[in-house]
């Protein structure tokens, strides 16, 4: 019996599996051969997981905040949030890490919720620059902090497995809002905390 979550208003799971069979034939193989018989179902299931972020509202994760922080007003940083995404240009994997920081203005959020926000945006077809801005914007909307900083590192398989075939290359993007943009000292403190690209952390 089909899982109702496998259906969408526009495309059924059966249609998705037929599309995979078409791609297999276009690639030059036979979707009816034994080794590929279950591939369309497996791919459809994998797509449902890889792109599950479309069914999530990242703002919901930050809806519950806490004000009882004993006056804490220093920077909060969560670094090395691993993510897996796919580029919207070639649907190839993007694998990397996100570092998030904010300067609270009276309220904070559970740190696991920040990781869930990253996951919700990553589990969509993405452009790294856009994802970076989306994560920062979500935190800014929900917490209204004095400042937000988001740095994203990503290795793009669309560059390593096709086209220029350059391995070992990573892309770094950042979005700085509020005091992270306006105050060089705040920005520098955040960047020291995360130490991106200096080889000191694994």
Catalytic (active-site) positions: 87-90, 128, 156, 158
Q: Say how far residue 155 (Cα) sits from the centre of its chain.
A: 13
Distance CA(86)–CA(15), nearest Å, equals 21
Burial per residue of 62-78, b for 16 or more beta-carbon CB atoms within 10 angstroms, e otherwise: beeeeeeeeeeeebbbb
Q: Where does the chain have alpha helices with state H?
A: 13-27, 39-50, 58-61, 111-122, 128-143, 157-160, 179-182, 184-194
What are the structure tokens assigned to 110, written together? Answer: 């559970």
Dihedral of CA atoms 121, 122, 126, 128 in degrees, nearest 10, equals 100
Burial class, 106, CB count within 10 angstroms (exposed 0-12 / middle 13-18 / buried 19+): middle
| Cα distance between residue 53 and residue 154, in whole Å | 18
């Amino acid at each position: 019996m089909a899982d109702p979550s496998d259906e969408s208003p526009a495309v059924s799971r059966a249609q998705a599996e037929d599309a995979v069979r078409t791609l297999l034939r276009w690639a030059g193989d036979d979707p009816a051969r034994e080794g590929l018989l279950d591939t369309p179902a497996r791919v459809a299931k994998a797509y449902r997981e890889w792109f599950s972020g479309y069914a999530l509202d990242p703002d919901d994760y930050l809806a519950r905040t806490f004000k009882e922080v004993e006056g804490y007003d220093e920077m909060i940083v969560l670094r090395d949030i691993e993510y897996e995404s796919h580029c919207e240009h070639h649907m190839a994997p993007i694998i990397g890490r996100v570092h998030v920081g904010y300067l609270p203005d009276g309220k904070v959020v559970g740190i696991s919720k920040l990781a869930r926000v990253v996951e919700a945006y990553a589990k969509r077809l993405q452009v790294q620059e856009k994802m970076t801005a989306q994560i920062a914007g979500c935190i800014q909307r929900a917490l209204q902090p004095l400042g937000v900083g988001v740095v994203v590192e990503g290795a793009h398989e669309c560059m390593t497995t096709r086209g220029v075939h350059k391995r070992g290359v990573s892309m770094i993007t950042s979005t700085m809002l509020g005091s992270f943009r306006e105050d060089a000292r705040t920005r520098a403190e955040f960047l020291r905390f995360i130490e991106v690209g200096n080889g000191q952390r694994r």
